[in-house]
Chain A
Amino acid sequence: MSEQDRPGGDITEEQVEALVARLHKQTQAGGYYLNPDEEFTRILVRSLMKNQARYGYQACPCRLAAGEKLEDLDIICPCDYRDADLERYGACYCALYVSAAAARGERTVSSIPERRPRARQDRPQFKQPAATEQAAVPALPYPVWRCRVCGYLCAREEPPGVCPVCKAKKDRFERFM
């Protein structure tokens, strides 16, 4: 493999393999699938590690990160657009994640259109939370939190530290009700 195919040259193959293995385990538990093309997946995982090192979080390798967490919150992997792209195209934007059919090799994946809104104010982290748009919300014993990545809902005082379905972190939750 040439240098241009290998982002994050100081990251070892063992470190990449370890993260690939961890992601496989996590994704399978949540009903998601990594790209079955192992070489392709290793390149992307290495890129995620490069972004972790330079930004402090795993920004999407195929989008230009701003380098500020709030600005990039919607494109931290798994991104807010993954599930809709899996439905529509059988792969997410970078194609690290694929649909069940693509994971079985029944569907090929390719470079897909960008779903992320171009205007900053239209991105999920800057839009008004759903709760404030609703006219009348019945009194609830607990607030309801929604994971912006996978749609998981839970009723508790605070969102969980990690989404039990897609493993997105606490800051990816929004107040839903």
Chain B
Amino acid sequence: MILLYAAISFFSGITVVLARMLNAKLAEKIGTIQATVVNYVVGIFFSILMLLLMQPGFSPVPLTNSLPFWSYLGGLLGIVIIMISNYITPRVPAFYITLLVFLGQLTLGILIDWWVSREFSPLKLLGSIFVVAGFLYNLLLDKNAEKEADKRPANNQS
């Protein structure tokens, strides 16, 4: 059962990259803003469809009254992310994007977890240092490969 949910988590990573690529490709054809409108209209359509199919007796009223207004602003951040993503995807190889987004996500993620739970997880930090080290190792491999590729055409010209 744990493995099933581990696989689901793994798949969430695949859909993140796939959606990023598809949206960037559509943005290339019809424009960034237009592609983002399409992304959200399609998203709303299918999330309403899912709600009606899976949870016909849903409640449109929050279960708690103590919801601060900024809880509703996540959707706006989603817009910011998609705009940045559409700009960055054709300019930076997907692997670099994955590394840097991870670094930013992890740093703020650990800070938020710390702030919310008031407890700091040393294992999480230790594990993430390993993860960053692995990413960095691969990043250096990429850099060396790029240097080699830069050298070759220069040699041909001389």
Do A and B bind?
no
